[in-house]
Structure formats: C-alpha cells, structure tokens
Amino acid sequence: MTSLNYMLSELRRRRGRTLLTALGLAVGVGLVITVSALSNGLDAAQAHVLQPLTGVGTDMSVTRPLQISNSSGGFRGLSATERKELQQENGGGRLDFTKLKPGTHFSRDSFNSTSQLSFPATKVSTIRSLANVQGAVSGLTLNAVHITGTVPAQTQAPGGGFGPGGGGGFSGPRGIDFSTVNVSGVDQSHPQLGAITSGQVSSGRYFSAGSRREAILNVSYAKRKNLGVGDTVSLGGKTFTVVGLAETPVGGQSSDVYIKLAELQQLSGRVGRVNTVYVRATSAGAVDSVSKAIKANFSSSSVTTAQTLANRVTGSLTDAKSLTSKLGIGLEIVGLLGAVLIASLLTLASVTKRVRELGTLNAIGWSKWLVVRQVGGEALFQGLLGGALGIAIGVAGAAAIGAFAPSLTASIASAASSALPGPFGQGAVATPSSTTVDLTAPISSAVIALAVVLAVTGGLVSGAAGALRASRLRPADALRHID
C-alpha cells in the first residue's frame, strides 16, 4: 500500500511529465481506434450495398449470359448459335414499318431479352437437388417495350434505301411513342428468396397468393413516374395494381417493376422458361463448392456470388475502402511505434532526472526489484491514463467521421448494359445501378479492449526501458549527482 501511495504521489508531483507521457500514448491509441472505426464503417457500408442481394453471404444468382465472341460487339459479336436463339426468343426483333400503310395507327407490346438467354425451368430442380443447396427459386427479367403511334410517309432514297427523315429513313414527323420498362417475374411462393423479397418492401405489402394482377415498384422508378400504392401500371396490354414499393438492390437483376412469375411468362410467351435462378447455400463456406457444382451441371451458366458483386463495386466507397486497407494498418503501426517511442524517451528522461532520488532509495535498503517496480508501476499508471485519453480521442475522431464525412457512392455494372441492339437497332439502355451510403464509424467493444491493452503494453514497454536504466544506478554515483 505504501508503494502504491508513493507511485501516485510521484505521478502527481510530476503531473506535467505524466500527462505528456500519457498523451503520447493516447495519440497512438486514438489513431488505432479511429482508423479501426473507419474501417468498420466502410465494411458496414459495403455490406449495406450488397446485403439486399446477397443476404447473409449464402445467396447467389445463376444466369445464362450472352457471350460476345469478337471485338465488333453488339448483335454481330454473338456466335451464330446465340444470335439465332436470341432472334427466336425475341420473336423477330424489329418492327417492320414497310408492311404498314402510311397514316395507319399502330400499337405494339413486346418483351425482349437483351443480355441473357432463357432456359427451361427444369434447371431449377436440378440446381435445387445439388449438395449444400438450401433453396433455389426461378426468376425472369425482361425489357417490356411499348411502341405506339402513326406510320409516317416513306420516301425512297437513291440506292434502294429509305430517304432523309432520321434514324430509320422516314421523312416528315414521326408521331411514334417508344417506352421501355425493365420487369422481373417473381415466384411469390418464396418471399425470402428471389429478385424481390418481402423484407425489401418499404411501403405497402408483398404479393398475395392467387392470380390477381399485382405489381411491386422500385422506389426510384415510382418517384420518377409519380406512382404509389393503389395506382396501376400497364404491361403487355394488361393492367396491374401497385401493392407495394421496394428498395431494390444494387447490381444483379434490379428492375423497375416486379410482377408474379407466371404472369410474366404468359405475357412474354415464355411459359416454362426462366433466365435467372436465385440460389441459397446452406452456409457461406459452401458457396464456392455450390458455384462449381452449378457450372458443372449447367453448361454456359454464370454464377454471381457476394464476392463477385464486391469485386464489381466501383465509386468513392471502393476508393475509400482501398485507401484505408492500404494505409490504415501502416498508420496504426507508425502511430503506435511513435507513441511507445515517445513514452520510452520521456520515461528515460524522467529516470535520469531522478538519479539522486532512486539512488537514495537504493542506499536506504531498497532492492533493485523494488526500484524497478516503482518505475514500472508509474509507467503502468501512465499507460492506463494514456488508454483513457486515447479512447476519448478515438471516440471523438469516430464521431467527427460520422458527422462530417461526405456520402459515398457505390455502383455495380448492370447486366442490362450489353451492347445488343434494341427494337430500332439502338444500343440497349442500361438502368443505372448505383446507390449512396452515409459513412459511419462504429466502435466495437473489442476495439476498446484492444486500445486498453495497447496502452498498457506501451506503458509497460516504456516502463521497462526506464526500469532497466534505474536498476543500473549505483548508490554512490546517485549520491554524487546534483539534482
């Protein structure tokens, strides 16, 4: 007890040096907490971006993407087999105005696939039967194209083509209205797995059982079109009642409108066919083996996992995360080493100034062990004080990040960005697939515990350096020293 009181009294007597040593440790500890909190915040932001599509890391999607076989891109870049399949699937492609009389009013609805081919729904059962597969659900994503207007007059240009008039060679006012909507068919019997899940519905409700025509809209699409729950949308000449709005995920098959799978198959002439399978593995550790098994049993398929999406994320979120990964650990190490070095130098300087005091203790009977314990104990208290100050600095740094950090953007290249031609030969319009996330810097209890350990360790290291210096003092030399 006497030794403890002596330690505390010495720390109080040299409070300036004590606070300076503790502050040196606190800066290093605070830097570790702040950088760790920033890293945790970036991890949480990325998880927020990917979680809606990847669940808890066990979800994946299976598609049959078109393969561009040469550098020319577009429709001509497809293999002959895929080109034929795509033409058959889209029912002939372009609208031929030459077969319509000028002045005739027309209206046409079609459902086109621009980036992937469909396949028999029986593939879903095959995937579901694989080892480590917890569930597999069908999906179908298409572009619903609505064209209406009046056939314009045509002029024959030299060489056999159509003359001036822009785009398709028509002259005079076109009077043609063209609109496209990305639509996904959802198996409503599996509300927890698919293109849209019940948990993503932010307003209204999920699909009901039965054959009622219902639609769930992407929130951003609903805002653009000024639509809400209870309104109606038209697809393929059929009217659907909006029953919900949903925050749909970045990447993958994010769509404007979601309807029941059977209804989209019927409208698009693809009964019994799908172009996406949503798969859930039994555990995150089984994802790789399941992905390999799917590719082995389903030729020409592509499997998208959480890691695949993470690798495709771009934007300021990725830049910040990359910078933190590269510099964060280095900053923590340099900060800690600097803090411990400063504390050690200050402790050594303190011991040097206390030569007479420590030598006198030796002279009156203190063993070297007691002197070492005295110096080491003081350094340990300084480490604890530095830990407390470091936690305060770290918490303040994390709070500043949460309060002043700008919002970060994350984007994933959309599958709809394929350079395949649309109904009039134009490139397919890609739906932007990006989101904005607010950066936070959460501090976990584990980081706080680590900070205390680092501070105490730093204090012990600096104390060991000072104690080693003190243990080598000889009483005679100390008594000759003028303080």
Task: Specify the pLDDT at position 167.
Answer: 37
329-381 residue pLDDT tens = 676 677 667 777 776 766 666 666 666 666 666 666 676 677 677 777 777 78
- Helix and strand numbers (H, E) in the chain are 13, 16
Compute the distance between CA of residue 348 and CA of residue 407 in angstroms, rounded to an integer. 46
Instruction: For residue 293, count CB atoms less than 10 angstroms from its CB and return exposed for 0-12, middle for 13-18, buried for 19 or more.
Output: middle
CA-to-CA dists, residue 233 to 74, 227, 228, 473, angstroms: 31, 9, 10, 89
Contact status, residue 165 vs residue 171, Cβ threshold 8 Å: yes
Among residues 218, 208, 230, 210, the alpha carbon closest in space to that of 184 is found at 218
Residue 130 in tokens? 């694989």
Task: Specify the pLDDT at position 112.
Answer: 85
Task: Specify the pLDDT at position 211.
Answer: 82
Stronger pLDDT, 286 or 157, i.e. the higher one? 286
Phi, psi of 308 (to 5 degrees): -60, -45
Average pLDDT of the chain to the nearest whole number: 74
Among residues 171, 309, 310, 317, the alpha carbon closest in space to that of 253 is found at 309
Task: Specify the pLDDT at position 398.
Answer: 85
Residue 220 in tokens? 């951003």
Residues pairing with 280 in the sheet: 59, 135
Residue 257 in tokens? 């409108």
Cα torsion 234, 239, 240, 245 to 10°: value is: 30
Contact status, residue 421 vs residue 74, Cβ threshold 8 Å: yes
Tell me what the mean pLDDT of segment 400-427 comes to: 56
Compute the distance between CA of residue 297 and CA of residue 472 in angstroms, rounded to an integer. 75
For CA atoms 88, 268, 276, 415, give the dihedral sign: positive
Least confident of 119-123, 204-208, 303-307: 303-307
Task: Specify the pLDDT at position 293.
Answer: 93
Residue 188: how many other CB atoms lie within 10 Å? 21
63-97 residue pLDDT tens = 888 766 554 555 555 667 767 777 777 765 556 66
Task: Specify the pLDDT at position 417.
Answer: 40
Tell me the percentage of the chain whose pLDDT exceeds 70.
62
Compute the distance between CA of residue 54 and CA of residue 308 in angstroms, rounded to an integer. 10
Does the pLDDT of residue 145 top 80, yes or no? yes
Task: Specify the pLDDT at position 434.
Answer: 61
Q: Which residues contact 370 (CB under 8 A, 6 or more apart)?
A: 3, 361
Task: Specify the pLDDT at position 436.
Answer: 73
Contact status, residue 214 vs residue 208, Cβ threshold 8 Å: yes
